[in-house]
Amino acid sequence: MQILTALEPLRTALSALKSGDNSDRPALALVPTMGALHEGHLTLVREAKRRAASVVVSIFVNPRQFGPNEDLATYPRQLEADAALLEAEGVAVLWAPTVEAMYPASYATTVQVGGLDTVLCGAARPGHFDGVATVVTKLLNQVQPDVALFGEKDWQQLAIIRRMARDLDMTHPRADAILGVPTVREADGLAMSSRNKYLTAAERAAAPAMNRSMREAAAQIVAGKRVADTLAVLREAVLAAGFDRVDYADLRDAETLQALTELGERPARLLVAAHLGKARLIDNVAVGGGQTC
């Protein structure tokens, strides 16, 4: 596995991978990450290997998606350990640019996806998704993959990246090649996340209650219970489980993220963000479209 930190060596390596590919599969898959890898990330890598001849994984803790009072300085960084995991998975290239390589002193451009970026996590974290859209655009331009894979745990991020790829007529990858991979969970249902490391033992024991409460609420909505009442009960259940506060507990259209007051024929997502100690946990479950998962 090549570990690269500068753009020109990356381009040389990717050109060699593409020219040496004689398979009938897509040549390159990209898995963007911020490192501190866990089984959820490795599941993305394995799916990428299934879909393309070579896999590129990026590790970049993107300062532009952190607010002034967020955890940029303390976000877990373990490049050496992450590299060992990726090499064991058969990754071809680890792209680990420096901040200076990604955002040189003259850098002046921001990508904004209007409408989808100011609700849910965007309301609680102003500018966050501008940073996400900007860095993902740069990563897609740098690697030019045939397919890019993202976890469904951050459903809003996935929806924004798909809209961005469609609106900007991206060809590497196309909007329909931005793939979501189902959330990987611990045995007790907690969504895997690098920020779970912030939880104390007592907080870790309380954390799965959020997903359990979400699934109960989703089942109630499918059964015909009034959405507003069900969401109010969900908020109270999360707080009663020991969470400090709930940023949102919403039912949204799965593609447009429009708030829903009732379940229609289109797929929907129940999305929650809540604070537990030093951790801000997010999760979502599918509701409608013939399934709840």
What are the residue numbers of the active site?
A: 41
Residues 30, 9: Cα–Cα separation, whole Å? 17
Residue tagged 């500018």 (tokens): 127
User: Do the Cβ atoms of 211 and 220 come closer than 8 Å?
Assistant: no
Tokens of 6: 């500068």
Q: How many CB atoms lie within 10 A of CB 184?
A: 18
What is the spatial distance between Cα 250 and Cα 260, in angstroms, rounded to a whole number?
8
Best CA proximity match to 10, nearest among 129, 83, 94: 94
Q: How many other C-beta atoms lie within 10 A of the C-beta of residue 277?
A: 17
Q: Which residue has the tokens 């499918």?
A: 222
8 A C-beta contact, residue 242 and residue 206: yes
Query: Among residues 27, 72, 21, 20, which one has the least CA distance to residue 49?
Result: 27
Half-sphere exposure at residue 284, Cβ-oriented, CA atoms within 13 angstroms? 27
Instruction: Return the half-sphere exposure (C-beta side, CA atoms, 13 A cut-off) of residue 102.
Output: 24
Q: 152 with 181: CB under 8 angstroms?
A: yes
CB 49 within 8 A of CB 147: no
